[in-house]
Amino acid sequence: MSSCAEDLIVSPVGLYGKFWRLRQEFIVEVDGERDIVPQDFLTDFASTQVPRLLLPGASAYHDWLYWEQKYSRLRCDQLFMKYMITKRVNFIIRWAFYLGCRLFGWAAWWRNKWLKGRGVRRPE
Q: What is the pTM of this model?
A: 0.83
Q: What is the pLDDT of residues 14-41, one digit of tens each?
A: 766 678 888 899 999 998 999 999 999 9
Biggest CA-to-CA distance, the chain: 39
Sheet holding 33-37, edge to edge: 2-4, 26-30, 33-37
Q: How far is Cα 15 from Cα 11, in angstroms, rounded to an integer?
A: 11
C-alpha to C-alpha distance for 99 and 83, rounded to whole angstroms: 15
Domain regions of the chain by residue span:
2-117
Query: What is the residue type of 105?
Result: G
The pLDDT value recorded for residue 53 is 56
Q: How do residues 35-78 score in pLDDT, each as one tens digit?
A: 999 999 988 876 554 555 567 788 889 999 999 999 999 999 99
Q: What gap in Å lies between CA 49 and CA 56, rounded to an integer?
A: 10
Mean pLDDT to the nearest integer, 2-7:
51
